[in-house]
Amino acid sequence: MTNLSHLPIHHATQFIADVFISLGVPPADAKTVAHLMVQSDLAGADGHGIFRLPAYVKRIKAGGINLHPHIRVERERGGTALINGDNGLGHLVMNQAVELATKKSREHGVCWIGSHHGNHSGAASVYVRMLAERGLVGIYMAVGNANHMAPWGGTDLLLSTNPIAIAVPTQKGQPIVLLDMATTVAAYGKVKLAAQRGESIPEGWMIDRSGKPILDPARAGEGSLLPIGDYKGYGLALMISLLAGTLNGAAVGKETIDFNACHDGVTNTGQALIAVDPDAFGERTLFVERVSAVVRDIQESNTLPGVDRIRIPGEGADASISSRQREGIPISNELLKALNACAVECGVPVLTI
């Protein structure tokens, strides 16, 4: 296992912002993106936070991202809207989607915000958590930025990890009930992280084109990630492609650009954000009380032999947020080298841990 150091949250945020500013990103945008990237790390989504900075730098330097986008509502009707991200940094697009979803859900009770011409925006949990912290139910879906999964029974890579996240608010002081998952057994970011750390990946994550397991993440390009639940995960990934991609006029299937391999192409990433105001269905306070009661019943239910307790989705992320706010973000030696290479390239101070 690679040795890990810990980078304080404020240092990580400032470092990311400094790198973006050095590349020409407006300071306010750089600070927003840096904050949202670190939220992925806080929640334990290590493949989606500061780890992605070198890839973003490559895309920016290659001209693959618009640093001065006109992010705008292109179509709007009642509780729906379609945002054109103008090929801006994905975090900026989704940040605007959260603000619009908050406004529209409080006005209409429920809203659906679609987006196209965005980019990778980090962990899905970041955006539904923002909604849940405002007392709203949040649902997020996205078409991944590269095809890493074949249709069930096939070999052609026509689908991505296509994440879905759902967050439900609870009573004050209690963890948000939050599901954040890829439609593949493992997100591709975890494969990249294992490759960087020189680790193997478990059997069941990937297969080659003859159906045999891939254990070496360096061979990831030779095969396909496996869907969760076999054909069920494949079906879910396809539906997310259609709802977060095709519906929005975003790239899906053969149109999808692998942003890991092509740094100057426009990815036209598609995303969808749904927000629900519990007040539209009754008293908000009663809803969160009932959510808490359901959670309590599950936590207090009987366990199988060898199981210490029942855990609730989102519990691990909340524990990670709490510990990392105190201890900082774990950084491997390999990641530190990659980040400091970015620092030298961009003319900003290197990280010292």
| For residues 170-174, average pLDDT | 85
Q: What is the pLDDT of residue 1?
A: 45
pLDDT band at 325, cuts 50/70/90? very high
pTM reported for the whole predicted model: 0.94
| Two structure tokens written together for 332 | 């491997």
Please give the pLDDT value at position 196. Answer: 84
Write down the pLDDT at residue 2.
Answer: 57
Q: At what angle do helices 90-108 and 125-132 cross, to 10 degrees?
A: 30
DSSP secondary structure, 239-293, as one string? HHIIIIIGGGT---GGG---TTT-SSS---EEEEEEEE-GGGGS-HHHHHHHHHH
- Give the least confident one: 18-22, 109-113, 219-223, 273-277: 219-223
- C-alpha 350/C-alpha 352 separation (Å) is 7
Q: What share of the chain is helix, strand, coil (3-state, %, to 5)?
A: 45, 20, 40
**Residue 173 has what pLDDT?**
78
At 204 the pLDDT is 94
Amino acid at 276: V
Tell me: the pLDDT tens digits for 229-250? 999 999 999 999 999 999 999 9
> How many angstroms separate the Cα of 316 from the Cα of each of 28, 41, 275, 337?
31, 13, 23, 28
Q: Does the pLDDT of residue 221 top 90, yes or no?
A: no
Give the pLDDT band of residue 165 (cuts 50, 70, 90).
very high
> Residue 171: is its pLDDT beyond 60?
yes
pLDDT in tens, 248-297: 999 999 999 998 888 999 999 999 999 999 999 999 999 999 999 999 99
Q: For the residues 168-176, what does the mean pLDDT come to?
A: 88
175 burial via Cβ count (<10 Å: 0-12, 13-18, 19+):
middle
Q: What is the DSSP letter of 160?
A: -
Residues 273 and 79: beta-carbon distance below 8 Å: no
Six-digit token string for 25? 């990103």
6-35, pLDDT tens digit by residue? 999 999 999 999 999 999 999 999 999 999
The pLDDT confidence band at residue 174, using thresholds 50, 70 and 90, is confident
Burial of 107 (0-12, 13-18, 19+ CB in 10 A): exposed
Cα-based distances in Å from 325 to 51, 113, 150, 274, 336 = 18, 31, 38, 28, 19
Express each pLDDT in 37-73 by its tens digit: 999 999 999 989 999 999 999 999 999 999 999 999 9
pLDDT digits (tens, 9 = 90+) for 115-153: 999 999 999 999 999 999 999 999 999 999 999 999 999
210 close to 160: Cβ distance less than 8 angstroms: no
Q: How far is CA 36 from its chain centroid?
A: 10
Q: What is the pLDDT of residues 73-104, one digit of tens each?
A: 999 999 999 999 999 999 999 999 999 999 99
